[in-house]
Amino acid sequence: MISNKNKKDRPLLSIVVPCYNIAGKADDLLKTISLLDDDVEVIFVDDGSTDSTWLILSEFAQANNLCQLKLLKQTNRGAGGARNSAIENSTGAYIWTIDADDDFDPIAIQELREKVTYGINFDFIDFNMVSHSGGNTMGLRAGECTVDHKSEMWIAERFGSITTKIFSKAFVERAHFSYPECVNSEDSCLAFFLPYFVNSFIKSETDVYIYHKGRTSRVLRRFYEREKVLACLWARSNCLAKGVSLYRGTIANEANLSVYSSRIRDTLLRNPLQTLISVRRPISILDAAKCFRFYRDVMKDLGFTYEPPRLDSLNSKQRLLAKLAHVVSLLLPCQHDFFRGIYLDLQPEFDGLNRRTMWQHSDWNN
C-alpha cells in the first residue's frame, strides 16, 4: 500500500474507488478529489489493471497533498473485491463507494460535516443521483427517517442505490458489509439484506452522485462475461436468502414478506436473462433455461410462489427465445450445484485465505 500522508487524526470520510483500466476515464473524478480537504481519506484500488492505471494513480498521489490518499494494488477480484479491500483498509468514520468513471459534487461532504457537527446519529445519508433516469433512487422526501421496528418492510422496498449513500463505519460493521467478489451487479446483492440493519438515516434533496452511463471501462467491464453473469445469480440468491431469513424472524404477517419478495422477483433474474438471451447463441439459451430452473428452485426453497420475471426490454424475437428457455427449464433437474460450482471456480485464493467459502447458503451446501 502507498499513502501520501501519515496523519494521526481519524478522517471523517473514507471514499472507496475501485479501478480497472481507468486511463482516460477517471479525469473528472480525479479533478474533484484533488480539491478535497484533509479530513477526507480516498482509497484507490488497482484491481489488476493491464493499462497505465497504477502509474496514473501514483502520479496523482504524488501531486496532491490536500486529502489523505491510499493506493492499493491487487490481482483482479472485480468491483466487489476491490471495494472489500478498500473498506478493510479504511479509517474514516464514514464510507462512500464511488466508481472511477463517475463523479460527485463535494457539497455532499460539507453536508456530512454539518450533520456530524450537529450531533445527528444516522446509519447513512442518501443523496440524489445526477443521471438520465432521475435522481431520487429511494423515492422519499428529504428529512430524517427512523425505522422503529424491524418488521417495517418499507425500507427494504425503497432502499435505492448504494452508491448514492454515505454509510457510517458503525453501520458497515454491524451489518457485516461485504461485497460478493468476481461477479457483476454486486451492489444489488447487498440491497437484499442491508435494509434490515437500518435504524435511522437522512434523505438529502441534494443532487450529488454524477453517473456517467456508457463508460464501461471500470472494474465491472471484464465481469460481463458469461461466468460472471451466472455467478451473480448464486451471490444474489444467498443475499436474498439472508434477507428473507432476517425479516421472517421479526414479522407477524407473512403477507408483508410477500410484498418484499414481489419486488425482487424481477430483479433477481431479469438482467442476467436479458444479457444471456440477447447474445442469441445456443449455449445462451441453455444457460437461460438453467437460470429459470434455478430461480424456480430458489423461490420454492424460500417459501415463495414462482412467478416468471418480466422481460419487457426484450424485442419480440428475444422474448420468443426466453419462452423457449422457460420450456426447456421444465425438463432440467435442480441447478444449485451448477451455479454454486461456477461461483466457487471464480473465487481466488489470496493472503492465505480461501475466499471460495464466501457467500454460500448453508442449506444448499449439503
Could you name the CATH architecture of 2-219? Answer: Alpha-Beta Complex (3.90)
Distance (Å, whole) CA 81 – CA 347: 10
| Model pLDDT for residues 237-282, shown as the tens digit of each residue | 888 888 888 888 776 556 677 666 666 666 667 777 777 776 656 6
Q: What are 77's three cell numbers? A: 477480484
Instruction: Look at strands 165-168 and 94-97 and give their pairing.
Output: antiparallel
Residue 133 is predicted with a pLDDT of: 65
Q: Tell whether the model's pLDDT for residue 144 goes beyond 90.
A: yes
Query: What are the domain boundaries of the chain?
Result: 2-219, 225-364
CB contact at 8 A, 94 and 167:
yes
**pLDDT tens digits for range 47-63:** 999 999 999 999 999 99
Residue 200: what pLDDT? 96
pLDDT digits (tens, 9 = 90+) for 7-51: 557 899 999 999 999 999 999 999 999 999 999 999 999 999 999
List C-alpha distances in Å: 227 to 185, 334, 362. 13, 18, 22
Say what the pTM is.
0.87
Which residues, 6 or more positions from 104, have their beta carbon under 8 angstroms from its beta carbon? Answer: 29, 32, 98, 208, 209, 210
Q: Rounded mean pLDDT of 108-113? A: 97
Question: Which of 114-118, 131-135, 214-218, 266-270 has the highest mean predicted lDDT (pLDDT)?
Answer: 114-118
